[in-house]
Amino acid sequence: MTPWHAVVLTLHPAAFPGPLGVSLAGKALAEGVWTLETVDIRAYARDKHATVDDSPFGGGPGMVMRPDVLAAAIDATQGPAGTEEALILLTPRGQPLTQARVRALAQTPRVRVVCGRYEGVDERVIDARGLEEVSVGDFVLSGGEPAAIALIDACVRLLPGVVGAPASLADESFEDDLLEYPHYTRPQVWEEREVPEVLLSGHHERVRAWRRAAAEGATAERRPDLWARHTATKRHAN
Ligand code: ADE
């Protein structure tokens, strides 16, 4: 099977693989479960100063990434004809990334991500190349690179064989629109704090029910947005 392929277009290729080169993602990369191609957008600049940005029409602070340079980088990194692909621009103006979108991307054989930089990217290249704008949260990073790493990491851990036990994927946060239940390990008593009795009982059905209730309680309290979706679409214990 051809490995899952990520292509990152960036002005900072040295940021990669970064954290993607260690732990689960790094091991899977070394094993060839997925492949990473980093493309330096600056290599597609046309002038001798390798200009990739310019000041915004209309005035205002900062610099804007030029559409012609970015389009040249995008056009030069087209996948093989017929390969299903996602083409993403990371930007705080994008749709918030969700586990559902991550699941879909992990099943898309080629995912190309453009890391935005400076104050933004000329709007015309977003339209002309049909970039899907994605945000990793309602906060502003200094560039798309950490966001690209987060997106790719979230996809890679869902690839077959990357996470040891498939059960740990089924149980985790955002499955079923619920946050995950809390975890405990040894020592059984730590700083006079005990582990919930039910977890020591060996009674699998009671453990399962306790975890479900704890997941629901945490979700209702911390994430009313998720909780509303959960109660609207899923059966729950209450
Ligand atoms: N670039 C800067 N901030 C970002 C964010 N929150 N998500 C995705 N890309 C970004």
Q: Which residues' Cβ are closer than 6 Å to ligand 1?
A: 90-92, 116, 135-137, 139-141, 144, 147
Nearest CA to ligand 1 atom 10: 91
- Pick the last residue of a domain from 91, 123, 156: 156
Give yes or no: residues 115 and 186 share one domain: no
Domain finish residue from 156, 188, 210: 156
Cα 142 to ligand 1 centre (Å): 8
Please check whether residue 161 lies inside any domain of the structure: no
The pTM (predicted TM-score) of the whole model is: 0.95
The domain of 177 spans: 170-237
Q: How far apart are CA 215 and CA 209, in angstroms?
A: 10
Domain boundary among 128, 156, 184: 156
Q: Residue 60: inside a domain, yes or no?
A: yes
The enclosing domain of 76 has a CATH number of: 3.40.1280.10
- 181 and 84 in one domain? no
* Domain count of the fold of the chain: 2
For residues 131 and 203, membership in a common domain is answered with no
Please say whether the beta carbons of 7 and 77 come within 8 A. Answer: yes
Return the half-sphere exposure (C-beta side, CA atoms, 13 A cut-off) of residue 64.
Answer: 16
84: in domain: yes
pLDDT, tens digit, 9 for 90 and up, residues 171-219:
788 989 999 999 999 999 999 999 999 999 999 999 999 999 999 999 9
Residue 150 identity (one-letter amino acid): A
Per-residue pLDDT of 32-75, as tens digits, reads 999 999 999 999 999 999 999 999 999 999 999 999 999 999 99
Exposed (0-12), middle (13-18) or buried (19+): which is 173, by Cβ within 10 Å? middle
